[in-house]
Amino acid sequence: MFGEEKSVGVAVLGLGNVGSEVVRIIEDSAEDLAARIGAPLALRGVGVRRVVADRGVPVELLTDNIEELVSRDDVDIVIEVMGPVEPARKAILSALENGKSVVTANKALLSVSTGELAQAAESAHVDLYFEAAVAGAIPVIRPLTQSLAGDTVLRVAGIVNGTTNYILSQMASTGVDYETALADASALGYAEADPTADVEGYDAAAKAAILASIAFHTRVTADDVYREGITKITPADFASAKALGCTIKLLSICERVTDDEGQQRVSARVYPALVPLKHPLAAVNGAFNAVVVEAKAAGRLMFYGQGAGGAPTASAVTGDLVMAARNRVMRSRGPRESRYAKLPVLPIGMVSTRYYVNMYVADEPGVLSLLAAEFAKRDVSIAEMRQEGVADEGGQRVAARIVVITHRATDAALSETVAALEGLDAVHRVASVLRLEGNSE
């Protein structure tokens, strides 16, 4: 049916879980993809680190010469799924400079080099698609760039890392500590051998930078995103969360903040937070992801599904491939980078939210009033303060566990308060500080 149509040549860089699945979809769904595009796809080559047989792809398609592959005249679209930042950045720039449209799932690269790559795509009049860079198969990028293009996005918040969500879900449901939940995630293949990028929030921060850039028409990099990980979360925190009608999730939050003078800024942050059980994100468990978008006219929209894995990510990559290939056939282009707003990034110290403070203090009279005074000195209003158990040694009570819930306060004021508390002789230690999100009180 498409015999007279010129094929759209495709090069795939990387043959791991995602790359292998992309190649499989291109081959197994060739007829359907051709019908959707208006021309057949032709796999021209697969870039790998080492050319060896038995990779599930004819060996003649494999090459370790990435530069040559992305500059071939018969390649129209380059799919980059090899990571990390380098050599992917060099390969993508070379592809764009050679007039190839690019589809990538590389969130680490995009979070630091979006502007450079977007400019290269603009100069070459080609497409740069990256739906798979955030939340795997969940369609988030395209709704923000296209479906909501006529609306004003106010906030994008979600769970965008499956590893940490699995760990926190296990802690919530079974009562185990962080180390045990991490070991379970590793045994099931949800956590990498080195889980630092996930558990310390770097992966989620990279995705937050991408989402904030798109939602607010402003270039935001990973360095602009405030980040905290989940390694200090304890079973005691989950017990307190349950008593408050909450659970704990690692959230990526991007929002448009308007001050009293009408000045707009962008806030992008990643941290573990208490989330009310009635909030839709509280029910997102296991390795699943979800993103809630709030827009002025559209209201609240939620996107939910598998955020990682070879097949889900390959689904998003292939969706971008179809869009880029269709544009080639139609001699058109997809949406360009939108950065006209150029909003400044709000420092974390100016971000206002509610807080949960868990501390161990001397079990003696007058301590509670001493603690309350330190909060009052910095205008941090206490909504609730209660004792939630004691620590003992040899049958002797040596410390009381105190939990404080605040009203809304700035991060700077809360940080100063915590520093002051830690300097008190009556305070043995401040065990944890968490934000409360999804509740406007």
Choosing from 6, 90, 100, 207, which is the catalytic residue?
207
Any known ligand binding at 16?
A: yes
Which residue in 277, 411, 423, 414 sits closest to 357, CA to CA?
A: 414
Structure tokens at 264: 């707009």
Residue 189, Ramachandran bin (φ over 0: left; ψ between -120 and 50: alpha; else beta): left
Any known ligand binding at 432?
A: no
> How far apart are the C-alpha atoms of 144 and 353, rounded to whole Å?
25
Please answer whether residues 234 and 431 qualify as being in contact, where contact means their C-beta atoms are separated by less than 8 angstroms: yes
> How far apart are the C-alpha atoms of 304 and 138, rounded to whole Å?
6
> How far apart are the C-alpha atoms of 110 and 89, rounded to whole Å?
9
> How far apart are the C-alpha atoms of 67 and 108, rounded to whole Å?
21
Any known ligand binding at 395?
A: no
Any known ligand binding at 19?
A: yes
Any known ligand binding at 18?
A: yes
Q: Catalytic residue at 207?
A: yes
Any known ligand binding at 67?
A: no
Please answer whether residues 333 and 397 qualify as being in contact, where contact means their C-beta atoms are separated by less than 8 angstroms: no
Structure tokens at 296: 């002025």
- Rounded (10°) CA dihedral 191, 197, 203, 209: 170
Residue 418, helix vs strand vs coil: helix
Helices (DSSP H) in 62-201: which residue ranges? 66-70, 85-97, 107-124, 141-142, 162-174, 178-187, 196-199
Maximum alpha-carbon separation in the chain: 88
End-to-end CA distance of the chain: 62
> How far apart are the C-alpha atoms of 131 and 125, rounded to whole Å?
19
> How far apart are the C-alpha atoms of 10 and 441, rounded to whole Å?
52
Any known ligand binding at 17?
A: yes
Any known ligand binding at 65?
A: no
Phi, psi of 69 (to 5 degrees): -60, -45
Work out the burial of residue 235: count CB atoms within 10 Å of its CB; fewer than 13 is exposed, 13-18 middle, 19 or more buried. middle
Residue 246, helix vs strand vs coil: strand
Q: Which residues are annotated as a binding site?
A: 13-20, 107, 192
Q: Which residues are annotated as a binding site for NADP(+)?
A: 13-20
Q: Which residues are catalytic?
A: 207
Q: Which residues are annotated as a binding site for NADPH?
A: 107
Q: Which residues are annotated as a binding site for L-homoserine?
A: 192
